[in-house]
């Protein structure tokens, strides 16, 4: 039986005009966000601050991870005008730091890497002063696909390992822990100027020692920024929450991460990969 959600995980829902305006802009440009599709608990706050994480390559994912609310289904055709629509939203929302992610598209020869590169290029054309952060899938380990994204020179490249290796068979059975570490290491090999970042969920049943081992693995791969947040099951059909991590323990993880050499660590119950990403980037 799942534990009752503690007080520190309860959010007061507050709609505001800024949130409504962001939703109108996104709707007009037909742009989904991971904020909405993944049922992020920070949606109200982020939309209210006129920011969002764009979700490209359609709404349907070709994988079926047990922690994620993004729907699994037949992949949608690539939209040639998607890069331009994302860039236009960046201009309209007056974003200084842009975060773009995607569903996983194992059906595409390059996993959608070319579309990521096109989105980065479109943003640069319309808003050359904006910094760009991409949160990418693993492209099934294809280095040539990764190189397409690296060649587009995002300011930050994020790829989440999500959990400890022991839990991969149940939490993300179609992914590979070492493949993800290799991806992050290759980014630094191909372009050391790109900042690398990864994220981990806690409360899935991992131990502190296992999480510390993951932090060390990420540092060995050259990863410079880390996010750690509480796993919250999107529904009763997803992987259950094994533990609610206390704010005090999150602080301990932050201190440990900094001691291991991460240049930035965001650790807290509501921290997600792109939560306050602009503030994190400014810390570098």
Q: Tokens 């240049």 map to which residue?
A: 263
pLDDT at position 74 is 87
Domains of the chain with CATH codes: 7-282 (3.20.20.70)
pLDDT at position 122 is 98
Judged by phi (left if over 0) then psi (alpha if -120 to 50, else beta), residue 112 lies in left
pLDDT at position 157 is 97
- How much is the average pLDDT of 127-151? 96
pLDDT at position 276 is 78
CA distances from 203 to 110, 211, 227, 249, 269 (A): 33, 11, 14, 11, 10
pLDDT at position 13 is 62
Distance CA 142, CA 53 (A): 25
Distance CA 134, CA 146 (A): 12
Q: Got the DSSP string for 100-153? A: EEE---TTSTTTTHHHHHHHHHHHHHH-TTSEEEEE---GGG-HHHHHHHHHT-
Distance CA 89, CA 85 (A): 6
> Taking the CA of residue 39 as centre, how many other CA atoms within 13 Å lie in the half-sphere pointing to its CB?
10
Kindly report, residue by residue over 184-196, the tens digit of the pLDDT: 999 999 999 999 9
pLDDT at position 38 is 64
Distance CA 274, CA 106 (A): 23
pLDDT at position 158 is 97
Q: Is 171 within 8 Å of 199 (Cβ atoms)?
A: no
- How much is the average pLDDT of 219-230? 96
Kindly report, residue by residue over 160-204, the tens digit of the pLDDT: 999 999 999 999 999 999 999 999 999 999 999 999 999 999 999
- Say if pTM beats, i.e. exceeds, 0.85: yes
Q: Which residue has the higher pLDDT, 109 or 278?
A: 109
Long-range CB contacts (< 8 A, 24+ apart) of 2-7? 2/233, 2/240, 2/241, 3/241, 3/243, 3/244, 5/244, 6/244
Averaged confidence pLDDT in the chain? 90
């Amino acid at each position: 039986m799942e534990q009752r959600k503690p007080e520190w995980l309860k959010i007061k829902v507050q709609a505001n005009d800024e949130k409504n305006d962001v939703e109108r802009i996104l709707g007009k440009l037909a742009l989904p966000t991971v904020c909405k599709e993944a049922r992020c608990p920070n949606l109200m706050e982020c939309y209210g601050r006129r920011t969002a994480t764009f979700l490209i390559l359609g709404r349907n994912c070709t994988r079926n991870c047990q922690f994620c609310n993004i729907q699994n289904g037949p992949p949608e055709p690539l939209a040639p005008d998607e890069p331009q629509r994302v860039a236009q939203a960046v201009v309209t929302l007056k974003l200084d730091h842009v975060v773009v992610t995607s569903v996983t598209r194992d059906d595409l020869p390059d996993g959608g890497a070319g579309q990521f590169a096109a989105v980065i290029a479109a943003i640069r054309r319309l808003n050359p002063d904006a910094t760009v952060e991409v949160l990418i899938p693993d492209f099934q380990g294809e280095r040539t696909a990764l190189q397409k994204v690296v060649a587009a020179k995002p300011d930050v490249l994020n790829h989440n390992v999500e959990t400890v290796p022991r839990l991969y068979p149940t939490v993300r059975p179609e992914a590979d822990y070492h493949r993800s570490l290799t991806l992050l290491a290759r980014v630094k090999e191909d372009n050391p100027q790109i900042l690398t970042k990864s994220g981990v969920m806690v409360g899935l049943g991992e131990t502190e020692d296992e999480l510390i081992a993951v932090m060390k693995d990420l540092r060995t791969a050259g990863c410079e920024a880390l996010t750690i947040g509480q796993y919250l099951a999107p529904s009763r059909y997803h992987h259950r929450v094994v533990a609610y991590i206390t704010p005090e323990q999150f602080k301990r993880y932050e201190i440990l991460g900094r001691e291991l050499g991460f240049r930035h660590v965001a650790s807290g119950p509501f921290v997600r990969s792109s939560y306050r990403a602009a503030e994190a980037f400014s810390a570098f």
